Amino acid sequence: MRKQRRMKHQLSAWVLSGLFMLCMSACKDNAEDTTGAFDPSQPVEITEFSPKNGSFKTRLYIYGKNFGNDVSQISVTIGGLPAKVVGSDGEIIYCLVPKRAVGGTIEVTIGESANATAPGKFQYESKTIVSTVAGYISPTGTKEVKDGAFADCGFEGPRNLVVDPKNKKHIYMIDGMGLSIRLLDFETNTVTTVLTRGQGGWDNIRQLTFTRSADTLLIANERNVANGLAVSYVTRQNGFKRPQNLVWMQRNNTCTIHPINGELYYNCRDNGNLFRYDFGTNTSETLYPIQTRDCQFFIFFHPSGDYAYFTVPNKKYIYKAEYDWDNKTLKVANTFAGNGSEGWQDGQGTNARLGNPMQGCFVKNETYVKEGKSDIYDFYFADQNSHCIRYLTPEGFVFTFAGRGSTGVNSNPYGYIDGDLLKEARFNQPVGITYDEENKTFYIGDANNSRIRMIEMDE
């Protein structure tokens, strides 16, 4: 009996081990791939590179031999400037052309010593690109409002921007949903907070405008009570520090000065009414309503004072109102672009669709000057919901100027990408825009990216 039992166990063990052998699927890890590794005993060679010319961040492929595939060991300089090396398979190095790499000589160094120089030179071409001036938001979306150097400062979400006419190196801006007025100082490359909401008794700072003298800064406030504070002002004399109140109106959004005659325009969002304030008589008069109910709009005068554009974000229109030089007031405004439904579509007049047109600025177009046109200004505006910078020609065509690039990967039009205006750049709810005519530079308040962006030639 005992013997039988033991034999039985032996049998079962035999069967079991057989079964387990069958169950086990041998699975070995692949051996370390050594192809493409750098061989110090062999020279590094560059045979070719492509493309031969390009601009900042051009993807450059350097062909040759014995580069190795360890990116950390490979350094490439173009015109003496270090280029970011992204990848290498031993025979092709993929790197990005650094900014202003005008020297053009391509050098590859592997490890400490082994190096090679490419035959021929890379031709660097300048172009207009989007870049970032200041601000930071972590990839997880956290941000910190912080004054300091551009490289180490933070914003809630930059909105309207205005260049100080007396010092083009100073840009005043609204941060967040009217939380504070801050100063971007390009002399010292620092950000400082000038005024906060509480200091002026404001609810939501909406727009900043310098008067004709450029010594007074008007501040539009939106307060949703009857006769709420509408426009305040601060003066240069006081270092733009002591706000004083000017006019009162429920839910004002804008404050705009006629560039020649100097009177003030403001509005009421609830009924869309436009008001004119005369500094001479200190009186306001109601002009007319835009739409009838709940109409938010901002007014931007042409430098000549001949007309003004009204951007109407919540109704998806841009209106145009001619100036009545005789009565020194704005004539009735008419639809100029957009068809009332939200969208992103370039086109003329009502064929164009607008996302949420916010701040705009007039920019002189040299081509128009050459052509001898009567109106030589285009109107550039930040289209918040379309996530791009667009412009409106005097003939009423709307074009997209920058943003919504990087098609592919994800279909979102928004994001944070610098670079080529249309191919690469992305904004995330740009709201503010202003133009420095001397340096031909745009500054953009990119609200959801919490950054100040810049568009200029990389020379």
Partner 1 sequence: MKYLLVLCVLFSSFATSNGFAQNNKTIEITGVVTDDKNEPLVGANVVVKDIPGLGAITDMNGRYKIKVEPYNKLLFSYIGFKTEEVVVQKETVINVVLTEAEASVLDEVVITGTGAQKKINLTGAVTAADVEVLKSNPSASITNALAGNVAGVMAWQRSGQPGQNTSEFWIRGISTFGASTSALVLVDGFERSLYDINIEDVESFQVLKDASETAIYGSRGANGVVLVTTKHGKSTKININGKVETIYNQLIKVPEYANGYEYATMLNEARITRNQPPVYEEDELLAIKYGLDPDLYPSVDWADVILRDGAMGYRANVNLDGGGARARYFVSVSYVEDQGMYKTDDELAKIYNTNANARRYNYRMNGDMDLTQTTLLRIGISGMLKKVNDSGKGTSVIWNSLTGQNPVQMPVVYSNGYYPGFNVSDIRDNPWVAATQTGYRQSWTNEVQTNVTLEQNFDFITKGLKFIGRLGYDTNNNNSIQKIRQPERWTAERFRDDNGEIVFRRVNAEQLLTQIPGTGTGDRREFLEAELHYNRGFGDHHTGVTLKYNQDSKVQTYNLGTDLKNSVPYRHQGFAGRFTYDWKRRYYANFNFGYTGSENFAKGNQFGFFPAVSFAWNISEEPLIKKRWEWMEMLKLRYSWGRVGNDNVGTRFPYLYTISEGMSGYQWADFDFSRTYGGMSYSAVASTGITWEIATKHDAGIDVSIFGDKFSITADYFNEKREGIFMSRTSLPWIVGLNPGDNPKANVGSVLSQGADGNFAFKQKIGNVNITLRGNATFSKNEILERDEGFKNFPYQYDKGLRVNQRKGYIALGLFKDWEDIRNSPDQTSWGKVWPGDIKYKDVNGNGVIGAEDVVAIGATAQPNLIYGAGASAQWKGVDFNIHFQGAGKSHFFLAGGIAHPFSRGQWGNVLKDVVANRWISQDISGDPATENPNATYPRLEYENVSGNNRQSSTFWLRDASYLRLKTLEMGYSLPKNFINKFNVNKMRLFFIGTNVLTFSEFKLWDPEAGSTDGGGYPLTKSYTVGLTINL
Total residues belonging to the chain: 459
Residue list 413-442, contact with partner 1 (CB under 8 A): 415-419, 424, 426
Question: 285 vs 50, 140, 330, 332, CA distance in Å?
Answer: 66, 49, 12, 14
- The reply on whether position 404 binds partner 1 by CB under 8 A is no
Residue list 13-52, contact with partner 1 (CB under 8 A): 15-16, 18-19, 22-23, 25, 50-51
Contact 75, 109 (CB under 8 A): yes
Please list the alpha-helical segments (H only) found in 315-386.
Answer: 366-371
Stretch that binds partner 1, among 131-139, 196-204, 305-313, 353-361 (CB under 8 A): 131-139
Nearer to partner 1, 21 or 31 (CB): 21
Binds partner 1 by CB under 8 A, chosen from 39, 48, 52, 59: 59
Stretch that binds partner 1, among 156-164, 206-214, 389-397, 410-418 (CB under 8 A): 410-418
Residue with tokens 């490890």: 111
- The reply on whether position 84 binds partner 1 by CB under 8 A is yes
Contact 406, 426 (CB under 8 A): yes
> Which residues, other chains included, contact 204 with Cβ-Cβ below 8 Å and sequence gap of 6+?
177, 178, 197, 221, 222, 223
Contact 376, 365 (CB under 8 A): yes
> Binding marks (x or -) toward partner 1, 341..380, rule CB under 8 A?
----------------------------------------
Q: Report the run of H or E that residue 8 belongs to, with start and end.
A: helix 2-23
Residue list 188-217, contact with partner 1 (CB under 8 A): none
Evaluate the omega torsion of the peptide bond into residue 51 and state whether it is cis, within 30 degrees of 0: yes
Burial of 169 (0-12, 13-18, 19+ CB in 10 A): middle
Residue 299's closest CA among 244, 362, 214? 362
Binds partner 1 by CB under 8 A, chosen from 198, 411, 438, 459: 411
Binds partner 1 by CB under 8 A, chosen from 2, 4, 187, 459: 4
Minimum distance of partner 1 from residue 139's CB (angstroms) = 4
Stretch that binds partner 1, among 86-94, 187-195, 281-289, 336-344 (CB under 8 A): 86-94
Count of residues engaged in binding partner 1, rule: CB under 8 A: 51
Nearer to partner 1, 4 or 113 (CB): 4
Residue 355's closest CA among 303, 398, 408? 398
Pairing between strand 347-348 and 81-88? unpaired
- The reply on whether position 92 binds partner 1 by CB under 8 A is yes
- The reply on whether position 5 binds partner 1 by CB under 8 A is yes
Minimum distance of partner 1 from residue 447's CB (angstroms) = 16
The residues that touch partner 1, with contacts defined as CB under 8 A, are 1, 4-5, 7-8, 11-12, 15-16, 18-19, 22-23, 25, 50-51, 56-57, 59, 61, 83-84, 86-89, 92-96, 99, 131-132, 139-141, 405-411, 415-419, 424, 426
